[in-house]
Chains A and B, each alone.
Chain A
Amino acid sequence: MAAHGDPRDEFLSEEDLDLRNLSFAELLAWWDLFLHQAQSSNDLDEDEYSHGVFALPRADWPWRRVAAPEAAAPRT
């Protein structure tokens, strides 16, 4: 690793990494607060997937450009 005093590549903010200094109870409190605050964006990500095999922005789904699913539904 870089020697003390050398420049260091930073990936996350000091604020993020400061989670290491929290007790587990404090971490849980921050986590819970974040979850509640993050609900404000629910309308914006209603159709989005953050994990798994559908985790591309809905606008980039290949077959969305072909037809709306409802418009071409085969009968079962």
Chain B
Amino acid sequence: MTIYLDLTRAFNSGRLRTIICSGQAVVLLRLAIASKDGDWILREDQEAIDHVLSVLEAHGASYRFGAPLDLRWLRQGWSSHFQFRLGDLRVRTDFFSRPPRVPPSELQALWSAQEGKDPPFTGPHVLLRIKQTGREKDWPIVGELARLLLDVRDQMLHSRSARDLLALAKDHPDLLAGLVAERPALAVVTQGLDELRLALERERFAAMDADASRIRTYLQASELLARVWSEIEQRTAGLPLRRAHAIVVGYAERWLPTVIPATSS
């Protein structure tokens, strides 16, 4: 059993509090083994936070630069980051409660669908939204995730393959017409393979730019906290995580805004 599955079971002891997402979910969907860090969608309540902190504390985890694992920041899309050593492994654990680009209704459906699952992890529909990042390396994953979607409408809205889309359009012309407003790239299906490829690339670059802009907004908002982070590290060095957490929260209340300017999430 890998450390990430062990952690997930510990996080979810007694109730579902966390859902594996991103790179480790890609492994569980059997698409690729491509990430050595773990991240989870965290249930947005205080008991879940307290439990996860206690599990991480038992592993000797410490905070990396980021927001505190606190509802005030999590509700605004911030992420919290920890790491610890386990033998020769550097284990990184990242958390957010509001994954980017995932509508609240889909997030709620994910929590419902993963209840009782071992391990709980994001399916292709949510995961491909999370993976629509500014990083080139995530887009091949998005392409394969779209092929895992069961619903034809969802395939037409998310496929990254021009060839797949042409075939879908041929088989479902009525559906295509109704989806152009939601996905403008579909408007050029009638113009053939090359034009559709170009439209898909324009769509992808726009999504990459939007994600990078979103992250820069958070980074700019975290500048003051960054300036005191070395002081935080000194004050929390060697402390059990929950004592360190209280210190991080204290600094964040002064130096890290909870609400930031509108993002595209």
Contact = CB atoms under 8 A, between A and B. Distances in A.
Given A30-B33, A35-B89, A11 B94 contact: no
A74 B167 contact: no
Interface string A22-38: 10000110111011101
B228 A73 contact: yes
Closest 7 CB pairs between A and B? A52-B79, A11-B143, A53-B218, A38-B36, A9-B161, A11-B140, A16-B32
Nearest to B28: A27
B226 A51 contact: no
Contacts of A2: 163-164, 167
Contacts, number: 156
B65 to A, nearest CB: 7
Interface in A1-56: 1-3, 6-9, 11-12, 16-17, 19-20, 22, 27-28, 30-32, 34-36, 38-39, 41-42, 49-56
A69 B33 contact: no
B163 A28 contact: no
A17 B144 contact: yes
Interface in B221-265: 222-224, 226-231, 251, 254-255
Interface of B: 1-3, 5, 22-23, 27, 30-37, 39, 64-67, 77-81, 88-90, 92, 94-96, 133-135, 139-144, 160-164, 167-168, 212, 214-216, 218-220, 222-224, 226-231, 251, 254-255
Contact of A76 (B134, B212, B251): B251
A42 B90 contact: yes
Given A49-B94, A56-B212, A8 B163 contact: yes
Contacts of A42: 90
Contact of A73 (B96, B164, B230): B230
Nearest to A42: B90
B216 A74 contact: no
Contacts of B2: 28, 31-32, 35
A52 B64 CA distance: 12
23 contacts: A9-B164, A11-B140, A12-B141, A16-B32, A16-B33, A19-B32, A28-B1, A32-B2, A38-B36, A50-B22, A50-B37, A54-B66, A54-B219, A56-B219, A62-B223, A70-B230, A72-B227, A73-B227, A73-B231, A74-B255, A76-B231, A76-B251, A76-B255
Contacts of B88: 36, 39
